[in-house]
Structure 1
Amino acid sequence: MKNTYLTALALIAASAISLTACSQEDPTLEDHANQQLVEQEDMAENEDNADNGDELSKNEEDEIDNEDPAEESEDDMEEQEEETASIFGNQEDTVYISADRLTVRADSREESESLGSLVKGNEVKVMNEAKIENETWYQVAHHNPTVNEGWISSEFTVSNLNDLHSISSFDNDELNEFFTSPTLFEENTIVAYYGHPNSEVMGIVGRHPVKELIDLLVETADSYDAADDSKGAVPAIYLVYGTVQPGGEIYKMNYDLVMSYIEEAYERGALVYIDHQMGRHHPAYSIREILSFLRYPNVHLALDPEWRTDKPMQEVGHVTGAEINEVQGIMQDYLLSNEIPGTRQYVFHQFVEKMIHTIEDVTTDYEQVLLVHNTSGWGSPEGKKATHDNTAEATNIPYKGFKLWYHFSDQPGVHYDDPLMTPEQVLELEPQPGLVIYQ
């Protein structure tokens, strides 16, 4: 498994496509091959790949603390339920997996056929319930086509997201309203740090502990605040949750690791973007894998078309305008059906024209979803500006983003912007990006 994850990091490094001289040509395979020569850090073994159908016995699943909660009055319980509904939306008939991995079975018996597994944090709808002796089983529905329906033991589920958190709640009403405001993007420059916590090569997120990272992030956001007194500046962490693997498989970040960043960011007044690279999977499937994170008010979602392929490093992937619209619709339906308030962003990246087919078909007619078209790629300021000019031609997508690459290493295959554009230069771009991402 270890070599697989090292390869995944090499693939991420390969996403640095040169924009020098305003080139819009495809990256060469030689350039991709050079990327693989970069020395990579080990990533922790993936504990939560829900596509892995290995059968686990009940004894192999993580033990869940089942201590009786303290007694509460009915009024207190009703008040807490109302607060939870307002923060996380409607959780009726919904449960969340609390074990690191939980087997899904063909019927409500431990010895029945294993259909696959779910991982911690997965959200499922309860369709039916059965009591077998002293144990309760749920028949559940999940978006994963390999385990779309099946039976799980209720012992390893919780019905309230608060039961999965290390902080007490996400109950700062003023902050929640700010994070989900429909004017957040227009009134602020969102400044994000990009990467994976376990990889220095993938971006700045992996080069600092989370508390130190946010300290640096706030300083960078402050520089944008100082450069434009007509707007505020909001810090954000951009996490690559789903990392492409050879053959288009996806390595998924551990749920507890993701939540540690969401929680720390919330307490520090920062947003979090959850990014999925898709690989061989359809955009609709990929976005559904991360939808439940929208229950947290500081979370927005992203997909990266470059890696929507089963031949990473051999070809640049793509999505269509219709697929972008479909993803927006899925997000909006999820927000509405679960009564989750506010507006959320959906970010997608582009550095060459072929990454987005029929971009003219993209619409922005989704009231609770704000679509962000992000200019990606590394290179000189002139090349990056030329690429941004190209993305600006898609006037049907008015909200734009812009990505920058820090210098990290002079090793062959590690790319960076030379020189790095200043906040003032970034804010002079037309249209002005509302999201600025630093890798």
Structure 2
Amino acid sequence: MGSPLHPAGTNDATGRRRVAAVALLLAAVAVVAVIAVSALGDDKDGDRNAAGGAQAQEKKPKPKPKPPTLPTGGRTIFPDYRVIGFYGNPAADELGILGIGPVSKVAAKLKRQAKPYARKTRPVLPAFELISTIANADPGDDGLYRSHMPDKLIRRYLKAARKAKALLVLDIQPGRADFFTETTRLRKWLKQPDVGLALDPEWRMQANEVPGTVIGSVRAREVNATTAWLDKLVRDKNLPQKLVVIHQFTLDMIDDRSKLKARKGLAITLNADGFGTQAAKLDKYRSFTRGPKRLKHGYKLFYKEDTDLMTPKEVMRMKPRPDFVVYE
């Protein structure tokens, strides 16, 4: 609506007062506008400051994640723990106790078997030693006389091992392949903090040799190359100490045994394999433990093949006490 018209003869003073009032009103509006703009500017500055603060908070370095540990805590296997394991593969009962029956029941049996070995000063760390590469009498498509277990099977045993707070140890019977090649192909498993490695030279064949017809052997150089690669993986991934088992039941199964190298990130263990009488097995163990002192000692027991199976109490009386005991 427009302003009302003034009748003729209206007092000029009144008009001037109205003009003055309008001028004052406009001035007041201008002041309010200035204050509003100023306030708006302050709000923008506040927003900028708040945004800057948020950015500053975002730029703060994130705390480093804690390094992975062993299944029962800590990052060192030996001498903190004594490892007690079951060995095998579900392909056949003859391959060992680990593969006989549902894995949950096997885990419960391992827990019972390991209990007598525990000490207050040295608790037990259970282990599933799964044959992940099996030597065959058949050459296969590549002529290397070995077959690989599917990922699905390894994953199933890793899941069960984790549920039991145990290590999973992947055992390699390489046939005519070599330990280094067979180990590096397991990288996706070995980079896990709770997965170890076992090398079985009995099944390391040379050219023209067939598994099961001869006893295999390996040179220390091949073992050292393999453990060097694995030790680097442990360092690169900041993993806890990783168990490495080297099986043997004759001294000549590892050529140049004295040249085997210890690795800071690995708990390398020479395991006295083979079944028989207690006397024969103890003699073999003593001969093996005269070897490199920088490596750890293991001992294998066979539920079916051993004559008069040794009890945990008898095993713990052995000198030196085994760091690793595995049942087949």
Q: What is the CA distance between 1:257 and its match in structure 2?
A: 1.1
Residue 251 of structure 1: aligned partner: 147
Residue 29 of structure 2: aligned partner: none
Residue 213 of structure 2: aligned partner: 314
Deviations 1:367-423, CA, capped at 9 Å, x for gaps: 21221110000001111101101111113443011000002xxxxxxxx11110010
Residue 165 of structure 2: aligned partner: 269
d(CA) in 2 for partners of 1:219 and 1:401?
Answer: 20
Residue 325 of structure 2: aligned partner: 436
- Higher share in strand: 1
Q: What is the CA distance between 1:259 and its match in structure 2?
A: 0.7
Which one-letter code corresponds to 2:113 in the other structure?
Answer: T
Secondary structure of the 1:420 match is: coil
Q: In the alignment, is residue 328 of structure 1 matched against residue 227 of structure 2?
A: yes
Residue 34 of structure 2: aligned partner: none
Deviations 1:95-150, CA, capped at 9 Å, x for gaps: xxxxxxxxxxxxxxxxxxxxxxxxxxxxxxxxxxxxxxxxxxxxxxxxxxxxxxxx
d(CA) in 2 for partners of 1:203 and 1:252?
Answer: 17
Change (3 A) 1:203 1:360: same
Is the contact made by 1:381 and 1:418 (CA closer than 8 Å) also made in structure 2?
yes
Which one-letter code corresponds to 1:334 in the other structure?
Answer: L
Aligned residue runs from structure 1 range 280-291, under 5 A: 280-291=176-187
Is the contact made by 1:242 and 1:277 (CA closer than 8 Å) also made in structure 2?
yes
Question: Could you state the TM-score of these two structures normalised by the residue count of structure 1?
Answer: 0.56
Aligned residue runs from structure 1 range 204-243, under 5 A: 204-225=97-118, 228-243=119-134
Which one-letter code corresponds to 2:160 in the other structure?
Answer: E
Q: What is the CA distance between 1:187 and its match in structure 2?
A: 2.3
d(CA) in 2 for partners of 1:278 and 1:348?
Answer: 13
Is the contact made by 1:177 and 1:342 (CA closer than 8 Å) also made in structure 2?
no
d(CA) in 2 for partners of 1:202 and 1:177?
Answer: 27
Q: What is the CA distance between 1:176 and its match in structure 2?
A: 5.1
Is the contact made by 2:72 and 2:165 (CA closer than 8 Å) also made in structure 1?
no
Change (3 A) 1:301 1:200: same
Secondary structure of the 2:73 match is: helix
Change (3 A) 1:429 1:192: same
Aligned with 2:257 (options 359, 377, 384): 359
Runs of 5+ in structure 2 lacking a partner?
Answer: 1-57
Which one-letter code corresponds to 1:178 in the other structure?
Answer: G
Secondary structure of the 2:105 match is: helix
Structure 1 ranges of 4+ moved more than 4 A:
82-87, 173-177
d(CA) in 1 for partners of 2:298 and 2:292?
Answer: 13
Q: What is the CA distance between 1:289 and its match in structure 2?
A: 2.0
Deviations 1:256-313, CA, capped at 9 Å, x for gaps: 1111111121122111110011110122112112232122221111110000014212
Give the fraction of aligned pairs with identical amino acids, expressed as a percent. 26
Q: In the alignment, is residue 345 of structure 1 matched against residue 272 of structure 2?
A: no
**Whose Rg is larger?**
2
Is the contact made by 2:247 and 2:270 (CA closer than 8 Å) also made in structure 1?
yes
Change (3 A) 1:436 1:177: closer
Is the contact made by 1:373 and 1:397 (CA closer than 8 Å) also made in structure 2?
no
Aligned CA RMSD, in angstroms, stands at 2.3
Residue 194 of structure 2: aligned partner: 298
d(CA) in 1 for partners of 2:69 and 2:248?
Answer: 34
d(CA) in 1 for partners of 2:193 and 2:316?
Answer: 27
Q: What is the CA distance between 1:186 and its match in structure 2?
A: 1.1
d(CA) in 2 for partners of 1:83 and 1:387?
Answer: 51
Q: In the alignment, is residue 199 of structure 1 matched against residue 92 of structure 2?
A: yes
Residue 423 of structure 1: aligned partner: 312
d(CA) in 2 for partners of 1:292 and 1:85?
Answer: 21
Which one-letter code corresponds to 2:286 in the other structure?
Answer: D
Which one-letter code corresponds to 2:198 in the other structure?
Answer: A
d(CA) in 2 for partners of 1:280 and 1:256?
Answer: 25
Structure with more contact order per residue of length (Cα contacts < 8 Å, sep ≥ 6): 1
Is the contact made by 2:134 and 2:146 (CA closer than 8 Å) also made in structure 1?
yes
d(CA) in 1 for partners of 2:148 and 2:239?
Answer: 27
Q: What is the CA distance between 1:341 and its match in structure 2?
A: 2.1
- Higher share in helix: 2
d(CA) in 2 for partners of 1:357 and 1:254?
Answer: 31
Q: What is the CA distance between 1:177 and its match in structure 2?
A: 7.6
